Amino acid sequence: MHSHRPGADAGAGGGDIVEMSSAAAAPPPHEGRDRERVIPHSGPLSKKSGPRKSARFAESVSAPLSAPPPRASPSSSAAEDDDYVEITLDVRDDSVAVHSVKPAHHGGPGGAGGAEDPDVTLLARTLENRRSSSYGHSVIRNASSRIKQVSQELRRLASVNRRGGAGGRTLDRSKSAAAHALKGLKFISKAEGAKGWEAVEERFDKLAQNGLLHRSKFGQCIGMREPEFAGELFDALARRRNISGDTISKAELLEFWDQISDTSFDGRLQTFFDMVDKDADGRITEEEVKEIITLSASANKLSKIQEQSEEYARLIMEELDPGNLGYIELYNLEMLLLQAPSQSVRIGTTNSRNLSQMLSQSLRPTPEPNPLRRWYRRAGYFLEDNWRRVWVMLLWLSICAGLFAWKFVQYRRRYVFEVMGYCVCVAKGGAETLKFNMALILLPVCRNTITWIRNRTAVARVVPFDDNLNFHKVVAVGITVGAALHIISHLTCDFPRLLHATDAEYAPLAPYFGERRPPNYWWFVKGTEGWTGLVMLVLMAVAFTLATPWFRRGRLRLPGPLRRLTGFNAFWYSHHCFVVVYALLIVHGHFLYLTKKWQKKSTWMYLAVPMALYACERLTRALRSSVRPVRILKVAVYPGNVLSLHFSKPQGFRYKSGQYIFVNCAAVSPFQWHPFSITSAPQDDYVSVHIRTLGDWTRELKNVFSRVCRPPAEGKSGLLRAEYDRDGGAMTNPSFPKVLIDGPYGAPAQDYKQYDVVLLVGLGIGATPMISIIKDIINNMKMLDGDLEAGAGSTNDASVSAASFRTRRAYFYWVTREQGSFEWFRGVMDEVAETDKKGVIELHNYCTSVYEEGDARSALIAMLQSLNHAKHGVDVVSGTRVKTHFARPNWRNVYKRIALNHRDQRVGVFYCGAPVLTKELRELAQDFSRKTNTKFDFHKENF
C-alpha cells in the first residue's frame, strides 16, 4: 500500500527514492537473547503490507519481514516496536538498492504516529510547486513493480543477521556515524579496480629493476606520496605473506594491490592492524601504538602530535586495555573506530539524506534550448549581482565619451582642423578625458572620506565602496587610453603636418606657434609643452608597470640588481612619483599651443578639488598618527611566521569589527604604511593586529620585535612573547620599537551586522577580520545578558539594542595548512566554546595538511582526536576546545546546509584570503541564491 503527496522527486542519479518501514521478527522468548535490528543490505521487501506511515518525497510501507512467533504475547507489542526500521530504497531502472536503514518511531506496529522529518517538510514547502503530481504517481508505479522482485532476499538476510548475532561479540555499525566515514579506511586515493591497477602496472614497468620493485619505490608505484607510511604498509603486507627482503615481483605487487584496494571495512581494518602489529603476534603493544602515532603524525605534518606520541599512546592503551594486559587486539581497534564519530558526516550534510539529494537535484542547471532566452537569463543574473557596479561604470564611460565628443567637435570647427585634420580632434579629446581621469583617480584612494560616507550615509546602498581599489585600477586604464590618444596623435600626426604645411596654411596659426615656423621636430620636444609631457609619460609608465601584479607581488624572477624592481617597495616608491606627475600636469596644462586665454585652460579646474581633498587626507593621516600615539602592550611571535601586536587604544579611537588600520614602524621604514585587519573587538580596551611574514617589510618587522621577545611563561601561547608591565613591578619593560597606527578604515566585513545570518570564511591569515567579528558577537552576547534571541540587555551605555545587533547565527570556517596556525587565535576559540551556550556561533577549523577522514593515514589521528576530546575536552590538532576537521571543506555542502537551515532569509557571506577561493564561493552564492529561496550576498576583502 502506497501513500503519495505532491512534491515527490527522483533521487540522485535518476533513481527513485522509496522509503518503507519494516519490522524484524522477534526471536522466541526462551532463546534469552536481545533482538538486533536489521543491518542495511541491498535486497527486496516483502509484498505483505500493513498500515502506512506517510512522508513527503517518499512512498512509505510498513511490512513485517516475517510473521511474529506464535508464542509472542500481546504485552510484547512495545518491545516489537523497537524492531521496526525505516528502509529507504534507491529504485533505478535496473536495480533496487537500500539507501539507508534507521529505527522507525511508530506509535505502534499498526500506527503511524512517527513525526515527519522537519527538514523534509521544510523543503517540501519550497519545492512542491516545482514538481507535478503526475510525476509522483509514476514514481509509485515504478517502485511497486520492482519491490516484488526482492522480498525473499531481504527476509533471508534479516534471518541470517539474527542468527549471526546469536553468539559472541557483535558491533552494530549501522548506528555509528563512523561506519559511514571510516568504512572507507582507504590507503590510496581513488583506487578503482582494474583501471587503478593499469596505472600501477605501468609505473611498475618504469620503476622495477630486473622485474623486481624495491621497497623504497613502493609508495611511488601505488601513488602514495609519503615514503615512510608506504614503507610501513609494504612491511605489513609482506609479513602477512611471509615475504622476506625488500623487493617484490609484479605478481606479488598485484596481491598487495588487491588487499590495498579492498573496499570492505573488515579487510582494510585488518591491513591497518597489520601495520601496527609489527611482530605479527596478533597483539598491539604500547610501543607499537606510539610508532604508528608518530608515523601518522609525520604523514599529516602534525609536529605537536609527534612530540606527544608517548602520552597519546598511553591514552589509547588506557582506553582499550582497562585490564592492564599490556596489549590490545583487533576487535579493540574496531571498537575504537566505530566509537569515533565522523565530524564531516555530521556537519557537511543535512540531517536527511533524502532532503540533501532533493536539493542537489533542484540545483542542477536546466539547459535552455532557446539562445535568446538563455542570453536574457544570463543578462538578468548578471545585472542582479552587479547592478551597482554597472551603473557606476556606465556613468563613468558616459562622462568620458561626452568629454571626448565635446572636444572633438569643438576642434573640428576650428581652423587648425584644416591643417592637422582629425588628428588634432583625437588628441584634444583624449586630453580632456585624461584630465578628468587624473582628477577622478584620486577619489577612490581617499580612504577617510570613503569610510566617513559609508558609516554615516545611505550612499553605500547604491555605490560599491568595497570596489574602490578596483575602480582605481579601471580609471588607470582610462588614463592610459587617454594619454595614448593624446601623445600618439600629436607626435605622429599633428607635429609632422604642421612642419610640412605651406606658408599660407601656417599663417593663421602663427599667433599660437610663433611668427617663425618651427624649424624641426626637436623644437616641439624641447619646448615646455614637449618635455613636461614626455617626463610625465615616462613616470606614469614606470608607476603603472611596477603596480601590476607581476611586479608588485614579486611574481617575476629578475636577475641580480633588477630584483629591486619587484615587490611592494618598488610599487610604493614609484607611486609617489605621481606627486611630480601632477605638478608637471598643471604646468603642461598652462603652456598650451592652441589655447592662450586662462579661463579656457581647464586642467587646474579638474584637479583643484580632488588634489585638495587628497592632500587633506594625507595631512590628516600624518597628524592623527602623531597626535594620538599608541603604546605597545604585548608582542607575540607565533608558528607560521605570524607576529601579533597589541596597542593601547588612542583617545577617541572608535572602529567596527572587520575594519583595518595602517601600521608604520620607523625602525623598519619611516615612510611605509601597510594595512592590516583589526583582530580585537570594539569593546576591548586595546587594538590588536596579526601580521604574517610575506614580504621584505613584514619580515624585517618580525625580526625587530623578535629581538625584544623571550620564550613565554608556562601556559602562554606563542614561540616568543613580551608584555608591557603596567604595574612596573614584576619585570623590566622591554624597549619596544616605536609604532604608529592610522585608521580605522572601512572594509566589506564591517557590514556583517546587516544580516541575521552570516557565513565567515577565512583562508590562513585571512581569518583576522573574522576573528574580530567573532569576538564582537561574543561581547554583544555578554552585554545582552545572554538573552540574544530576545535582544534584551542591560540599560547602561555599554549595552547594545536588538536593533543595532541583528546577528542571530554565525558560521565560521577557518581553513589553514599548518597545525601551528591554530595558536594564533586559541584564546578566542576557547572563549567561544565556553561562552556561547546557545550555539549562536558555529566554529569549523580545517587543517588541510591532514588527509581526509576515512584515509588510513589519518585514521589513528581521528581516533586519538575523539578519545582526547572526550576525556580532556581538548582537540589534539588545534589545542583548543573546538574539534578540527581534516582536508578541505566541501563548500557546496556548506552552502546547502545553510540554505536548508535558514529558509527565506538573507545570508551575508564574507571572505578574506587568497583569491584561489573567491570564484568558487561567489559562484556558489549566486547559484544558491537563484535556485533556492535563501539569498546569499558575497563580500570579498580588498586592500
Mean pLDDT within 855-882: 83
Would you say residue 149 has pLDDT above 50?
Answer: no
Q: In what order do the strands lie in the sheet with 935-940?
A: 884-886, 841-847, 809-816, 757-763, 906-912, 935-940
180-276 to CATH, choices 3.30.43.10, 1.10.238.10, 1.10.760.10, 3.30.70.100: 1.10.238.10
Task: Look at residue 165 in the predicted model and tell me its pLDDT.
Answer: 37
Task: Look at residue 112 in the predicted model and tell me its pLDDT.
Answer: 37
Q: In what order do the strands lie in the sheet with 720-723?
A: 686-692, 642-648, 632-638, 720-723
Alpha-carbon 61 to chain mean position: 43
Asked whether 11 and 359 are in contact (CB, 8 A), the reply is no
Report the distance separating Cα 725 and Cα 709, nearest Å. 14
- Sequence ranges of the domains in the chain: 180-276, 399-621, 628-745, 747-790+802-848+888-942
Task: Look at residue 66 in the predicted model and tell me its pLDDT.
Answer: 35
Give the best-scoring range by mean pLDDT among 48-62, 201-215, 285-299: 201-215
Task: Look at residue 299 in the predicted model and tell me its pLDDT.
Answer: 80
Alpha-carbon 7 to chain mean position: 33
**Per-residue pLDDT tens digits for 599-639:** 778 888 999 999 999 999 888 888 887 777 788 888 888 88
Share of the chain above pLDDT 90, in %: 18
What pLDDT band is residue 286 in, cutting at 50, 70 and 90?
Answer: confident
pTM summary value: 0.70
In terms of pLDDT, which residue wins out, 460 or 101? 460
Report the distance separating Cα 588 and Cα 266, nearest Å. 83
Share of the chain above pLDDT 70, in %: 71
Task: Look at residue 804 in the predicted model and tell me its pLDDT.
Answer: 64
Element (H, E) at 759: strand 757-763
**Per-residue pLDDT tens digits for 497-546:** 888 888 888 888 888 787 787 888 888 888 888 899 999 999 999 999 98
- Could you say which DSSP state residue 304 is in? H
What pLDDT band is residue 21 in, cutting at 50, 70 and 90?
Answer: very low
Q: Three-class SS of residue 314?
A: helix
Count of beta carbons in the 10 Å neighbourhood of residue 634: 16
Asked whether 259 and 826 are in contact (CB, 8 A), the reply is no
Asked whether 151 and 45 are in contact (CB, 8 A), the reply is yes
747-790+802-848+888-942 to CATH, choices 3.40.50.300, 3.40.50.80, 3.40.950.10, 3.30.420.40: 3.40.50.80
The two beta strands, 884-886 and 841-847, are: parallel
Task: Look at residue 551 in the predicted model and tell me its pLDDT.
Answer: 85
CA dihedral 601, 607, 612, 614 (to 10 degrees): -170
Lowest mean pLDDT among 437-446, 566-575, 782-791, 924-933: 782-791
Q: Three-class SS of residue 770?
A: helix
Q: How far is CA 70 from CA 35, 66, 73, 219, in A?
A: 17, 12, 8, 60
Q: How far is CA 746 from CA 51, 387, 453, in A?
A: 63, 21, 10
**Per-residue pLDDT tens digits for 779-819:** 887 776 554 443 333 344 444 444 466 778 899 999 998 88
CATH number of 628-745: 2.40.30.10
Task: Look at residue 337 in the predicted model and tell me its pLDDT.
Answer: 65
Task: Look at residue 653 in the predicted model and tell me its pLDDT.
Answer: 87
Would you say residue 362 has pLDDT above 60?
Answer: no
Task: Look at residue 894 in the predicted model and tell me its pLDDT.
Answer: 92
Q: Which residues contact 164 (CB under 8 A, 6 or more apart)?
A: 170
Lowest mean pLDDT among 320-329, 690-699, 708-717: 708-717
Report the distance separating Cα 384 and Cα 937, nearest Å. 11
* Residue given cell 566509537 in the structure block: 339
What pLDDT band is residue 904 in, cutting at 50, 70 and 90?
Answer: confident
**Per-residue pLDDT tens digits for 377-411:** 778 878 888 888 999 999 999 999 999 999 999 98
Asked whether 667 and 704 are in contact (CB, 8 A), the reply is yes
Q: Which residues contact 441 (CB under 8 A, 6 or more apart)?
A: 472, 475, 476, 479
